[in-house]
């Protein structure tokens, strides 16, 4: 997968948590493993997962030391809660990275419930980007709320619904070891909020069946968890499966890979890039 990242010509990479699984230790050795494949100075950006917030597979602060932020100045705390604009001059996108329901040593478990400081920080980061004329807002979170696996919302529905209410363009999530592309969701008549554990067609603005979405119409949630550890199954009978347009898992053409996102002033194009395994492919556009 890392070789595919290098070959793709990507300008940066976001690893959305759960990094080494202690397959390569210590953290510095895993960083060396990555850099040997993507380059010593390549911007390989890190967001903590639950395997390195307070262990058991290393600590995000140690991973941060050997794979530091290499792009424009950031706001917040790298690896935990931060955003940066890209490119640095006349930015096209703001990348906002947050850590709901992760537990960091000495800091407790981070809440993003409505009205909390971290919820308000996220809302402000989105609003400031819009006010500054940044065209695209992309938010990354390790854990999920709605997904195609059997399980409850892990980050709290408040923060998910904030992102949908604000119509962030792209909402990336990990934790689920699979890939799934969502339909475009928005709050509107008949849908005041997306409720986990069920499906409400009123929340769907665009089915995404043709891979085309309208800019500013809503939010597309994409699960990007097929980067390395064993791929998990997808549950097409889960009620929340109705919110997804395309998927891949151990029971559906298992393919390791990542999502490559290309942005211009008017268009966001995303493509699942295969690293190894099966032959799954997916492409979509927001414009």
Helices (H), the chain: 2-8, 27-38, 60-66, 117-131, 157-165
HSE of 41 in the Cβ direction (CA atoms, 13 Å)? 1
Q: How confident is the model at residue 75 (pLDDT cuts 50, 70, 90)?
A: very high
Helices (H), 70-111: none
Query: What is the chain's mean pLDDT, rounded?
Result: 97
Please report, for residues 3, 92, 226, 256, the alpha-carbon distance to residue 273 in angstroms, rounded to integers and kept in the order given: 11, 22, 11, 9
- Report, as an integer, the average pLDDT of 93-104: 98
Q: What is the pLDDT of residue 151?
A: 80
What CA–CA distance (Å, rounded) separates 43 from 95? 13
Q: Read off the pLDDT of residues 192-246 as tens digits, 9 standing for 90 and up.
A: 999 999 999 999 999 999 999 999 999 999 999 999 999 999 999 999 999 999 9
278: exposed, middle or buried (Cβ count in 10 Å: 0-12, 13-18, 19+): middle
Residues 6 or more apart whose CB falls under 8 angstroms from that of 206 comprise 183, 184, 212, 213, 214, 217, 218
Q: What is the pLDDT of residue 158?
A: 98
- DSSP lists the bridge partners of residue 171 as 139, 221
What CA–CA distance (Å, rounded) separates 158 from 238? 21
- Report, as an integer, the average pLDDT of 257-261: 98
What CA–CA distance (Å, rounded) separates 95 from 84? 6
Q: What is the pLDDT of residue 150?
A: 75
Q: Read off the pLDDT of residues 106-130 as tens digits, 9 standing for 90 and up.
A: 999 999 999 999 999 999 999 999 9
- The CATH number for 2-286, chosen from 3.40.50.10490, 3.40.50.1240, 3.40.50.2300, 3.60.21.10, is 3.60.21.10
Beta-strand runs (E) in 174-249: 179-185, 204-206, 212-213, 219-224, 244-248
Please report, for residues 68, 165, 175, 220, 257, the alpha-carbon distance to residue 225 in angstroms, rounded to integers and kept in the order given: 22, 25, 6, 16, 9
């Amino acid at each position: 997968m890392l070789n595919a990242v290098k070959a793709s010509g990507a300008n940066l990479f976001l690893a959305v948590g759960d990094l080494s699984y202690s397959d390569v230790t210590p953290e510095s050795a895993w960083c060396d493993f990555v850099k040997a494949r993507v380059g010593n100075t390549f911007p390989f950006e890190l967001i903590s997962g639950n395997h390195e917030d307070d262990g058991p597979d290393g600590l995000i602060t140690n991973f941060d030391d050997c794979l530091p932020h290499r792009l424009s100045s950031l706001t917040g705390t790298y690896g935990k809660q931060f955003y940066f604009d890209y490119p640095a001059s006349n930015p096209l996108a703001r990348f906002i990275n947050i850590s709901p329901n992760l537990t960091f040593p000495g800091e407790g478990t981070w809440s993003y419930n409505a009205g909390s400081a971290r919820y308000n920080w996220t809302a402000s980061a989105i609003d400031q980007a819009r006010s500054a004329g940044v065209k695209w807002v992309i938010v990354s979170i390790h854990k999920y709320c709605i997904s195609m696996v059997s399980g409850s919302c892990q980050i709290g529905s408040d923060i998910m619904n904030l992102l949908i209410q604000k119509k962030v363009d792209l909402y990336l999530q990990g934790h689920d070891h699979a890939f799934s592309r969502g339909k475009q969701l928005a709050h509107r008549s008949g849908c005041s909020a997306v409720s986990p554990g069920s499906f409400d067609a009123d929340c769907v603005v665009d089915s995404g069946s043709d891979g085309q979405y309208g800019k500013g119409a809503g939010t597309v949630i994409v699960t990007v968890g097929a980067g390395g550890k064993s791929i998990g199954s997808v549950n097409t009978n889960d009620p929340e499966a109705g919110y997804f347009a395309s998927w891949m898992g151990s029971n559906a053409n298992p393919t390791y890979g990542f999502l490559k996102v290309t942005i211009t002033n008017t268009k966001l194009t995303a493509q699942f890039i295969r690293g190894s395994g099966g032959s799954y492919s997916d492409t979509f556009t927001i414009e």
